[in-house]
Chains A and B, each alone.
Chain A
Amino acid sequence: MLKIRNLAKTFFPGTANEVTALRDIDLDIEDGCFAAIIGTNGSGKSTLLNAVAGAFQADAGSIELAGVDITGQPEYRRAGQIGRVFQNPFAGTAAGMSIAENIVLAMRRGQRQGLRRAVSRKAREEIRARVRTLNMGLEDRLDNPIGTLSGGQRQALTLLMATWQRPKLLLLDEHTAALDPKSAAQVAALTKEIIERENLTALMVTHSMQQAVQLPDHIVMMHQGRIIEQYGAQRKASVRVADLLNAFDRVRRRDLLDPDVAALLARQYA
């Protein structure tokens, strides 16, 4: 279970560029829950994901994963339990190295890298079998540099790498946003398949309301660094894209409204 309490982060504090990205975030994600985070640009979705991954240290609050406080752990140590797929298909793999070499790193995620040959015969067979499940024909191209693959193929491999060793938490940061529609649909379907098959706990940032309605079983809505709404399993079952858009519209109107005018209207029409 992922438990976040009072998480806060301000970038460039005390300067003209000060940005409060996260404010008092409280969030519980149960084991086996697939949650999506939605929100407008700059609402803190990716920042929240990066805070959980350990890309930076939060200013305040705590993050607990599977009963262990990971707040102070560096990113690489958290990675032993957290699988990640980035928005940029180029970010999750080493372009100049082969498919097999990339995957062997994931095979030993969180373990000590030893002095044995990385791509051993046994490892190669295991990689071939698992890559075959992607149905992309990549099992015959294990020695090709991963940089020669399309964005969709790379993102599918990154997903495979992130879940090679069952993570306690899978973080997906708009991982289909940079792909063409066909590849995005493929990767989204693969994501759902892997998460359901492995019964993974996952947190996905997305801009696609369609994806937010279709894929996860929990929706977290963020705005200006705060969680403003959550749709748990029951509410989520009946939510439609239009409901989410309306919710955002309400927030936007509220932001546009001057607080004094809002108070006046409230008095008038109370």
Chain B
Amino acid sequence: MTLVIGSFTIGLILSLLSIGVFISFRILRFCDITVDGTITLGASVAAVLLVQGHAPWVATLAATAAGALAGFVTGILHTRFRIQEILSGILVMTALYSVNLRVMGRSNVPLLDTRDIAAPLAGVLATLVEDGEALHLAGWRVPVQDMAMLLTAFLVTAAVAWLLHRFLLTQFGTAMRATGENPQMVRAQGINNQNMLVFGLACSNGLVGMAGALLAQYQGFADVQMGIGMIVWGLASIIIGEALVGKTGVGLAIVGAMMGTVLFRLLVAIALRWGLDPNDLKLVTAAFVFAALVLPRYGKQLVRKMLGGRHYA
């Protein structure tokens, strides 16, 4: 049960990352790898503010703003200074490594005696259970703190997903979607596609920063290395989500990204439980994304060749 609760919680938190990656990769069609630095930035900012005694929601919002600022810088580098999109992301991501060290003052900030964003809900849940410490679900003992974090992650992610869906159906959101699809058409409709891109990247990285803040609060620490490979994680989740719900409709795509993240996290947890070396996790994730990107293109050809071979045999 701990495995399931933990996987769901981390999955829901990382859903924010996947939604952010969904905005940059799928909506804006911008290959933004700032994300690897932004999630750490969000975690660092939140951790430092929490250690300083600020309220968890203040720390989380500040982390979101910091993430948005990083996305904004990537967007400016690309649109105003005409730096290639990949390189813009690499520059900001690399710079963020030093920024994160500066923010934290060292490579790791533990959150031992700090309140987290789920504390208010944990307090409420504690008053509802008999021993004040744990719930009993289907015979399993689930600590109140874990359940509160799961519910908080769900509420935050659901609220973000709902708001994003509403936003993408507005006039502004529709223009943002069109920017990724066809910037030439967008300009012809009198819309500044460059500003749209910068705004979209700020939104995307803002959500990733928020994911970092929640992850730090859940794990109890922020680490300068925690962002490595997160972009691939987000992509893998989106691909799984698209396999689950298809590619039609913005709302379904957002729900798909969330479902994909949770499922992917569960699969990873199961694989680790079955003996997968944690050191191999990034390699397996990258291989999965590679297969998901390549198989639809070459898989059909391969099947056709195989079938053709049988036909003429």
Taking beta carbons and an 8 Å cutoff, which residues of A are in contact with B?
A: 53, 74-77, 79-80, 83-84, 86, 91-97, 101-102, 104-106, 108-111, 113-119, 161-162
Contact = CB atoms under 8 A, between A and B. Distances in A.
Interface in B255-269: none
Contacts of B52: none
Interface string B127-157: 0000000000000000000000000000000
A263 to B, nearest CB: 47
A74 B80 CA distance: 14
B172 A94 contact: no
Interface string B68-90: 00000000000000000000000
Contacts of B167: 115
A76 B79 CA distance: 14
A79 B193 CA distance: 12
Given A76-B192, A114-B171, A91 B187 contact: no
Contact of B171 (A53, A86, A92, A113): A113
Contacts of B187: 75-76, 79
A79 B183 CA distance: 13
A79 B174 contact: no
A113 B175 contact: yes
Given A93-B182, A94-B178, A94-B182, A79 B171 contact: no
A53 B190 CA distance: 11
Nearest to B167: A115
Nearest to A106: B189
Contact of B174 (A91, A109, A110, A118): A118
A109 to B, nearest CB: 5
Contact of B188 (A74, A79, A104, A114): A79
Nearest to A54: B187
Interface of B: 167, 169-175, 177-178, 181-182, 184-193
A96 B190 contact: no
B183 to A, nearest CB: 10
B182 A95 contact: yes
Given A91-B185, A93-B185, A110 B178 contact: no
18 contacts: A53-B188, A79-B187, A79-B188, A86-B188, A92-B185, A93-B182, A93-B185, A94-B177, A94-B178, A95-B181, A97-B178, A97-B181, A105-B185, A113-B170, A113-B175, A116-B171, A117-B169, A161-B189
A76 B170 contact: no
Given A97-B174, A114-B171, A115-B171, A76 B181 contact: no
What's the dominant secondary structure at chain B's contact region?
helix
Contact of B190 (A86, A110, A117): A110
A161 B178 CA distance: 14
Contacts of A104: 171, 174
A79 B181 contact: no
Given A104-B171, A115-B172, A118-B174, A92 B188 contact: yes
A117 B172 CA distance: 9
Contacts of A109: 189-190
Given A76-B190, A84-B188, A95-B182, A115 B170 contact: yes
B182 A76 contact: no
B185 A94 contact: yes
A97 B182 CA distance: 10
Contact of A114 (B172, B177, B178, B191): B172
B174 A101 contact: yes
A80 B191 CA distance: 9
Contacts of A108: 171, 189
B28 to A, nearest CB: 13
Nearest to A104: B174
Contacts of A116: 170-171
A57 B227 CA distance: 42
A167 B295 CA distance: 47
B26 to A, nearest CB: 10
B177 A97 contact: yes
A75 to B, nearest CB: 5
A105 B184 contact: no
In the A-B complex, list the 5 residue pairs whose CB atoms are closest, starting with the nearest.
Answer: A94-B181, A79-B190, A110-B190, A118-B174, A113-B171
A84 B186 CA distance: 11
A82 to B, nearest CB: 8
A91 B174 CA distance: 17
A118 B250 CA distance: 14
A138 to B, nearest CB: 18
Nearest to A91: B184
Given A97-B177, A113-B172, A116-B171, A86 B184 contact: yes
A116 B169 CA distance: 8
A97 B189 CA distance: 15
